Structure 1
Amino acid sequence: MFVVLFGLLALSCLPLSVLGVPEDRDARMYRVYIYLPPKEGRDETADILEIKTTVSGLTDIKVLFSFKELGNSLVILVLRVDKACSWPQLTSFLARKGYEVKVTPVYYCSDFARELGLNMTRDFYDTTLENDEDLLMGKQIFPVKGLSTTQYDDMLKEMFQKETSILNAGQRAACFRTLADVPVEMMHFTALNQKKVEALVENLNAPSHFDLDVIRIQKLDQYTGRCK
């Protein structure tokens, strides 16, 4: 389970000239899933609170977002690694605890939109989701389904154009794309405003567009483990 994680550790130790500058689309940003499978004697609340404390104290690793799935033992992090060889702070902790971990390189959806020829600044999407307690994460995978490159790109452009209208109307969301060619995978974190979210989900789940998985999440810094 740590093959990918330690592969990234090795990658992070390469010289900066090899890894690229921070503005590159592959400038060491990662989505990290941490699963806490049921285990006899495990105190899930204590484990999640320990993860919360550990990630908040990382040096040269910027925690862009940290969430827990509501109702499940899954912690979701989006990290930016600002300094090479800073991974051991996190990887040694996770290896010692024996959690199931999956790490995926990501970059900003706004950068991807510009690659498609759209005029979208990086600050178009939200970068903090401050003051929002009720949140959703939507993961979208765009199957190729026999489309030509032009048809595939046009489908993605159409999705971004519809999403631009929804966000301009006041819906707030953060968005990242996984660093892979095809199929394209993107994830949105968005505030739970019922009417506006319905419009966003309708766009994200439009026929012939892509597969959509939506879960409820909460910010990790709000997690106390107490019943509400």
Structure 2
Amino acid sequence: MVMLLVGLLTLSCLPWSVLSSDDDRDALLYRVDITLPPKEGRDETADILQIKTTVEGLTDIKVLFSFKELGNSKLFFVFVVEKACSWPQLTSFLSRKGYEVKTTPVYRCSDYARELGVNMSRDFYDMSLEDDEHLLLGKQIFHVKDLTTAEFDKKMRQMFKRDMGILNAGQRAACFRTLASLPVELMHFAPGGSSKMEAVEDLLHGPDTFDLEIIRIQNLAPYVGGCQ
């Protein structure tokens, strides 16, 4: 974990010209996974509330989303880093606590869709899910395998066009792509009530060759603890 934190600090202190460009406006958008390892005497509720309070008080780091996996001591955050070298506020706190941390640069699916030629506005996906207490996190990994680049891009365009139809019909979701080349990895956050499951499953259906993992999560905005 120490090496990960050092790497994160190094990345955050690079010049803006290295971290972002006109073609990659969300180079400083990150998903951060925090796992609280088992520990005798740990007060999980107190720890989670302390993490929640800490991230809400960060300077120049905006909390876009904050979730907890139901049934597990694992938190998911999406941060917008508004100023270089602002990570130490968070990393020093996490290092002292001994939490397991994974940091992944991401960017908006709407930006990716437009790169593919899909006519989608940058704010098409819903970035305000704080009113939904229980949601789903759907992680999709799309493998190119024997497809040409043109064939793969066509499949992804078809998927995004179908997503637009589902979202225009009233389904809500946020979507991010991992900032990497291949395989393409997308993550959706969507309300997970039983009455909406069919629409969510349609939203997460993709091209023939992909892996899908669905996790039930709880919004941290109203989190006050209790048994999960």
Q: Compute the TM-score of the two structures, normalised by the length of structure 2.
A: 0.93
Matched, 1:164 2:168: no
**Secondary structure at 1:172's aligned position in 2?**
coil
97-106 or 215-224, which deviates more:
215-224
**1:183 corresponding residue in structure 2:** 183
- CA shift at 1:201, angstroms? 1.5
- The separation in 1 between residues aligned to 2:200 and 2:192, in whole angstroms, is 11
Structure 2 counterpart of 1:5, which letter? L
User: By how many angstroms is 1:206 displaced?
Assistant: 4.6
> After the TM superposition, which residues 137-216 of structure 1 pair with which residues of structure 2 at under 5 Å, given as runs?
137-206=137-206, 208-216=208-216
What's 1:52 paired with? 52
Query: Structure 1 unaligned runs (5+)?
Result: none
- 1:179 deviates by 0.3
AA paired with 1:51? Answer: I
Change in Cα spacing, 1:167 to 1:222, as seen in structure 2 (3 Å) is same
**What's the secondary structure of 2:129's corresponding residue?**
coil
Give SS of 1:123's match. Answer: coil
Deviation per CA, 1:88-146: give whole Å up to 9, x if none. 00000000000111000000000000010111111110111142122111010001222
Runs (4+) off by over 4 Å: none
| TM-superposed deviation, 1:26 | 4.2
User: What is the CA-CA distance between 1:195 and the residue it aligns to?
Assistant: 4.6
Pair 1:185–1:198, CA change in 2 (3 A): same
Q: How far apart are residue 15 of structure 1 and its match?
A: 2.4
Write out per-residue CA displacement over residues 71-96 of structure 1, whole angstroms, 9 at most, x where no aligned residue: 11100000011001100000000000
The aligned length equals 228
Q: Which residue is equivalent to 1:84?
A: 84
Letter in 2 for 1:107: Y
User: Displacement of 1:227 after TM fit?
Assistant: 4.0
TM (norm. structure 1) is 0.93
Whether the aligned pair in 2 keeps the contact of 1:109 and 1:175 (CA below 8 Å) is: yes
**Which deviates the most, 53-62 or 144-153?**
144-153
The worse-fitting range, judged by mean Cα deviation, of 3-12 and 81-90 is: 3-12
The alignment status of 1:220 with 2:217, answered yes or no, reads no
Residue range with higher mean Cα deviation, 24-33 or 155-164: 24-33
